[in-house]
Chains A and B, each alone.
Chain A
């Protein structure tokens, strides 16, 4: 998972330093190493072969210290010696590390490893990933078919070399546009506050001289760090912003939105997100209410003990309990231990979906339980006494007394819970990462919208598309909240 654009390889000037010496003249094979550094973080070696009999492969070993035996070095890469007639040559630049034999790009096996023919007299390879300005010792050894070093290589004499081409970081993105926007927001707000303050002073409000100074820092922070990113995010959704060209995004209209709506996983991931949110909120409120009702009973013993324990899922950092559940649900985890089975619970679509929902239910109950027991305790007890006297059954008391009294708490809590569940990233990211996967590049079976947006933004680096997804999520939530508030208001009016 690379989130930062890889540093672009920078081709430096032609800096060659040739090292030439004869290495490990064996009885069978003589290998000559020529080393040259010519690319960023790359050293190129060239090997002259006088005798390739019995050689299965050449191995390139390296270390930051001189070494005599391979146990003190690390294997960098290997080149196989085999019949190349059925293999294809891979053009220069197509493979991660280029290799040549007798001046031509080498053949590659199906896995992309270089293969040279036994007849080759000279081969060379690029060794990448070497840190600039660091001395390296590099040795090439010939290995036979049984994996043994060919004789005469008991004592290695590695070549000392280094690449001096400095790390070239990409030009830092221009901070001026961002800074000037932020500054102008701050100045505008300050001007507004000063204007409002003068107005208040004129109209003679008691606290006029200080009030704005008290709220200004918080409001400016909010404007700069919340409202501005929101607006910026909406703008991004109309651009082709991508991780590889930061700060150079250009307006492309509704293309991103069209892509989102026509993407094959859109309907599926939206449906699962809705199922996920509704199931979670229902269970949170339902179980929370059940536990709250039991915990607020007058005569129950050990209430404090129960409440303390039942608060644990809220008190423990969420990521820790989520990872604990992940462990429990592994093939060799507690769940399978208890049942005496070895089921891969998280790699089957339905069970993975049910289990991530159950884990999130586990996490969210305490909050609802506490909020609802607060509201329950606020209902005057004499209402129940009166109901008792009138012979109203417990169930009817619950329906006609408790629920209506809780309505003003449950309504906003459910809405909030819905929005929170809709945006609950950690559970799915940590337990399944959206897997089991359905199709490459599409949301996985347990992906909800927000986890998929994360993938689009930070795995694929497509910021513009991710911003479009975000805007759509936001609009969905706004629409839902609007309908919800209207509906609940409507029922309130009827009631």
Chain B
């Protein structure tokens, strides 16, 4: 049932039987996929109606799912024309059900969306099944019209697929955006409560509270110290190691690389308790140093892998030339390799910084006093089991995440590349 087979000239299209046999209007092909998606979405909507325990809604949506499913099963295959009428009938039923349940609802955005998933597919099916090209096809099509239809299929396919892709992507984007819009709304709504319509009030009081709160600045300072310390310590360990793994051949290289790989595979949990006890024994709990050391080591393997990957792409010729000119290894490293791979080192530094900035578990375990909290633990402490300060939390979240989101987005391409490479190799 593939049109491309014919249009690409692999088969003699002038044979009318084959053209007729192979031609399926693009609308039917699309409906086969889209109705399946529509059924899935309506099942999700049905779940929502069940949560609402709205009996009418449950019946209407349930029947809607049923009619879409039957429509999908009865989609004409060009052999029997009764199928078209049957499918048309069920699609019409679905359309009516959708309209009734929309009329029956409160007409909120959600209602439009959820009913839309019944109404639009049903309406599309009705309009396509009544169109001339489908009617033609169902009542038996002549060879040259089938051929024209194949050309038309090819034209329309790109457009229709784009519609499908955009629908999928818009839903994905909505799922990503909704929590962000919501948190923004909470941040600018008066009072430390949830609820309220989105966009019903505007205040900057939470931002004033957060910016005026010494605690927030203490947490920020702690986070900055820890993150910058981690970046510095981590890189000063990882850069030479990554370079050595990329360039040198030495005994124990295989074993060392294996050690790094092994550590990366190790789940952090096995380290958590002993780490805590060692840090406690050494008196490094509630200090920035403890966290810096822990973070530098936990991010070390991935940093080494990222850097090794980057160094591998720096051409060796320059170093060899410098070697011939009598430079020492150290001079080569500092004067040639480092400046050349500065962008790569910067990306690794950013990765290191971001992981320390966002890390939660170790920070939670190592720091028990409020004035040693880093931002993650501090912000989480604003949402205890009682007395949750949602407005302040939301404002703080926006302040904390905006810079790192911008950094991430600016360098996402290199970050993603380095990270996936490091992760997959490890």
Give me the interface of A with B, judged by CB distance under 8 Å: 3-4, 172-175, 178-179, 192-193, 196-197, 199-200, 205-215, 217-219, 221-222, 225-230, 232-233, 236, 241, 246-247, 290-291, 294-295, 297, 299-302, 306, 308-321, 323-328, 330, 332-334, 337-341, 343, 362, 367, 370-371, 374, 388-391, 393, 409, 412-413, 416, 419, 422-423, 425-426, 429-430, 449-450, 453-454, 457-458, 463, 466-467, 470-471, 473-474, 477, 481
Contacts and interface: CB of A to CB of B under 8 A. Distances in A.
B334 interface: no
A83 to B, nearest CB: 35
Nearest to A321: B179
B265 A419 contact: yes
Contact of A471 (B270, B298, B417): B270
10 contacts: A212-B250, A213-B240, A222-B260, A222-B297, A229-B278, A291-B168, A291-B172, A454-B365, A458-B365, A473-B267
| Residue among B165, B390, B409 with the highest chain A CB neighbour number at 10 A | B165
A320 B182 CA distance: 12
B412 A315 contact: yes
A450 B183 CA distance: 28
B390 A208 contact: no
A463 B273 contact: yes
A221 B297 contact: yes
Contacts of B183: 320, 324, 327
Interface of B: 2, 4-5, 8, 10, 48, 51-52, 106, 108, 110, 158, 161-162, 165-166, 168-169, 172-173, 175-180, 182-183, 186, 193-195, 197-198, 236-238, 240-241, 243-245, 247-253, 256, 259-260, 263, 265-278, 280-283, 293-294, 296-298, 300-301, 304, 329-330, 357-358, 360-361, 364-365, 368, 376, 379-380, 383, 390, 393-394, 397, 400-401, 404-405, 408-409, 412, 416-417, 419-420, 423-424, 426
Contacts of B266: 226, 230, 474
A311 B173 contact: no
A375 B251 CA distance: 34
Contact of A207 (B108, B249, B276): B249
A300 B161 CA distance: 9
A367 B8 CA distance: 38
Contacts of B110: 338-339
Given A311-B412, A324-B394, A457-B276, 6 more contacts: A321-B179, A332-B194, A371-B420, A413-B423, A416-B423, A481-B265
A295 B172 CA distance: 12
Contact of A339 (B52, B161, B390, B408): B52
Contact of A473 (B52, B180, B269, B376): B269
A246 B408 contact: no
A320 B10 contact: no
Given A319-B376, A323-B383, A328-B179, A391 B10 contact: yes
A313 B274 contact: no
B424 A337 contact: no
B358 A470 contact: no
Contact of B250 (A211, A328, A339): A211
A388 B3 CA distance: 11
B168 A218 contact: no
Nearest to A299: B158
A33 B243 CA distance: 75
Nearest to B425: A412
Contacts of A323: 379-380, 383, 393, 397
B52 to A, nearest CB: 5
Contacts of B330: 210
B18 to A, nearest CB: 12
Contact of A371 (B249, B394, B424, B426): B424
B297 A467 contact: no
Contacts of A217: 236-237, 240-241
Nearest to A235: B274
Contact of A470 (B269, B297, B379): B269
B172 A301 contact: no
Given A211-B244, A343-B51, A393-B2, A423 B274 contact: no
A247 B281 contact: yes
B182 A301 contact: no
A4 B368 contact: yes
A219 B177 CA distance: 43
B68 to A, nearest CB: 21
Contacts of B270: 230, 233, 470-471, 473-474
Counting from the closest, the 5 A-B pairs by CB-CB distance are: A391-B5, A214-B244, A218-B241, A211-B250, A233-B274
B423 A229 contact: no
A345 to B, nearest CB: 9
B256 A215 contact: yes
Contacts of A477: 267
Contact of A294 (B169, B176, B379): B169
